Amino acid sequence: MKTKFNKYWLIPIALVLVIGIYYLPPVHSRLAWRVDAARTQIIYFFNPPGDIIFEPGGETAITIETVIATTRAEYLLTLTPQVTPTVTPTPGPTARPTITSTPLPGAVSLEGVVYVDQHERWNYCGPANITMALNFWGWKGNRDDVAKVVKPGSGNTRVNFIDRSKDDKNVMPYELVDFVNENTDYRAIMRHGGDPNLIKRLIAAGFPVVVEKGYYEHDTTGKISWLGHYLFTTGYDDTRGGFIVQDAYTKPGKNLLSEYAVYQEGWRAFNYLFIVVYPPDRESEVMTLLGPWTDETWAAGHALELAEKDIRSLSGNDLFFAWFNRGTSHVLLRQYVDAATAYDQAFSLYAKWDTETKDRPYRTMWYQTGPYFAYYYSARYADVISLADTTLTDPASKQERTL
């Protein structure tokens, strides 16, 4: 007697096959982020991350606790000179060089640029960009070599490295600088308060520049949203009115033109921060090109001047970044009470953001840590905790991969 075949048995068999195929490494590396993006879209629909707002308590800073905390902070800083870990290249010039007034060419496009994207990886903007900067000088490593150092992830060795690195949401600029200085034969320097003429001068002399910037772009959920990003700048063209950049995120991303105004607006979101990678035997040349930017304190003070200028000249949503930069510059100068006051104003503007124009840049605190230093060293401990809670309870911080 023949047994009738039950076609419904095909359903669980098919599910097992689909799951098995999904977890094959070549398939999983290509599809996992798409699955996460779909899940994130659903969560954002019911709980928009831009609606979550940090409100500083604004405790009075001039108290005995503030005096004690500030004194303690200054003492700790005598032991650890820099709040933000950076590596100043050595050996370097003992005197600060001046900038020459040699006219710059109207257009420069550096040759020998090897484009590296961040596709099919989690949060790989930093590794991709510093790899391009190193490859330009002949380094033979790749983006994974960088990522294994700067974003090791959860440490769970049972998970492959690509998935493990997903847990590391962001790579700070000083981590990239440290990677170059400690793991390669090349050197790197980072400064705040850059300007377009400085970038042009470096490029014209043969030194491409990595900048940190923000911009509105399609994120992994498919929505136009504000993102933090590194951008490898390899040329400029005054006739066309922009910098030539290598964008690891967009498709296509090679040799794009970023108009000067757009470039400047995005760069403002990160206090005009830039990184230069170079061979050690050309260090004196780099320092001469940097001029006063060789002095980290001067650069921080210059960044503060730029922030104050932006505050006087900008309006609307742009003022948020100008006030935020003022706070960051005060932190770099160890002026914590002034920094906290500036950040208070920035967060106040964030709460009043004109969302009809653009969505709030809710990812800002994924990339920048200045407010924590400002509030802590101003003895505003409740604000430190509140800001951390606000950032960590944001659904985006749990669901989303970043640039």
Kindly state whether residue 301 falls inside one of the protein's structural domains.
Answer: yes
Torsion of CA 293, 297, 303, 309, to 10 degrees: -110
Kindly state whether residue 88 falls inside one of the protein's structural domains.
Answer: no
Kindly state whether residue 176 falls inside one of the protein's structural domains.
Answer: yes
**What span, in angstroms and rounded, lies between the C-alpha atoms of 275 and 148?**
20
Last residue of a domain, one of 229, 264, 286: 286
Range of the domain at 358: 47-81+295-403
Domain co-membership, 386 together with 309: yes
| pLDDT for residue 170 is more than 80 | yes
Are the C-beta atoms of residues 386 and 57 closer than 8 Å to each other?
Answer: yes
Kindly state whether residue 155 falls inside one of the protein's structural domains.
Answer: yes
Higher pLDDT, 265 or 85: 265
Higher pLDDT, 56 or 257: 257
| pLDDT for residue 311 is more than 80 | yes
Residue 31 confidence (pLDDT):
60
| pLDDT for residue 306 is more than 60 | yes
Domain co-membership, 242 together with 147: yes
**What span, in angstroms and rounded, lies between the C-alpha atoms of 374 and 106?**
42
Domain count, the chain: 3
Measured on CA atoms in the order 194, 200, 206, 209, is the torsion positive or negative? positive
Please give the structure tokens belonging to residue 163: 């998935």
**What span, in angstroms and rounded, lies between the C-alpha atoms of 275 and 293?**
12
**What span, in angstroms and rounded, lies between the C-alpha atoms of 51 and 304?**
30
Q: pLDDT tier at 97 (50, 70, 90 boundaries)?
A: very low
Are the C-beta atoms of residues 171 and 229 closer than 8 Å to each other?
Answer: no
Residue 86 confidence (pLDDT):
40
| pLDDT for residue 82 is more than 50 | no
| pLDDT for residue 92 is more than 50 | no
Percent share of the chain, pLDDT over 70 = 71
Domain co-membership, 189 together with 127: yes
Residue 168 confidence (pLDDT):
79
Residue 93 confidence (pLDDT):
39
Kindly state whether residue 93 falls inside one of the protein's structural domains.
Answer: no
Residue 314 confidence (pLDDT):
96
Domain co-membership, 214 together with 241: yes
Please give the structure tokens belonging to residue 14: 């098919």
Domain co-membership, 33 together with 139: no
For 126-145, how does the pLDDT look when each residue is reduced to its tens digit (9 = 90+)?
Answer: 999 999 999 999 999 999 99
Question: In the predicted model, what is the mean pLDDT of residues 246-268?
Answer: 95
Residue 204 confidence (pLDDT):
98
Kindly state whether residue 339 falls inside one of the protein's structural domains.
Answer: yes
Please give the structure tokens belonging to residue 400: 């989303």
For 184-231, how does the pLDDT look when each residue is reduced to its tens digit (9 = 90+)?
Answer: 999 999 999 999 999 999 999 999 999 999 988 766 556 678 889 999
**What span, in angstroms and rounded, lies between the C-alpha atoms of 74 and 330?**
14
Domain co-membership, 55 together with 40: no
For 23-35, how does the pLDDT look when each residue is reduced to its tens digit (9 = 90+)?
Answer: 666 666 566 655 6
Question: In the predicted model, what is the mean pLDDT of residues 280-285?
Answer: 98
| pLDDT for residue 316 is more than 70 | yes
Question: In the predicted model, what is the mean pLDDT of residues 248-270?
Answer: 95
Kindly state whether residue 89 falls inside one of the protein's structural domains.
Answer: no
| pLDDT for residue 83 is more than 50 | no
**What span, in angstroms and rounded, lies between the C-alpha atoms of 145 and 155?**
16
> Which CATH number does the domain housing residue 115 bear?
3.90.70.10
Domain co-membership, 17 together with 110: no
Higher pLDDT, 355 or 393: 355
Last residue of a domain, one of 254, 286, 318: 286
Higher pLDDT, 93 or 345: 345
| pLDDT for residue 350 is more than 50 | yes
| pLDDT for residue 119 is more than 50 | yes
Kindly state whether residue 184 falls inside one of the protein's structural domains.
Answer: yes
| pLDDT for residue 152 is more than 90 | no
Domain co-membership, 140 together with 240: yes
Residue in 303, 285, 63 with CA at minimum distance from that of residue 192: 303
Last residue of a domain, one of 234, 263, 286: 286
Domain co-membership, 396 together with 310: yes
Residue 84 confidence (pLDDT):
40
Q: pLDDT tier at 78 (50, 70, 90 boundaries)?
A: very low
Please give the structure tokens belonging to residue 294: 């060789």
Question: Which segment of 14-18, 242-246, 350-354 scores lowest on mean pLDDT?
Answer: 14-18
Higher pLDDT, 74 or 332: 332
**What span, in angstroms and rounded, lies between the C-alpha atoms of 220 and 31?**
12
Residue 18 confidence (pLDDT):
64
Domain co-membership, 41 together with 74: no
Residue 59 confidence (pLDDT):
61
Domain co-membership, 195 together with 218: yes
Domain co-membership, 218 together with 126: yes
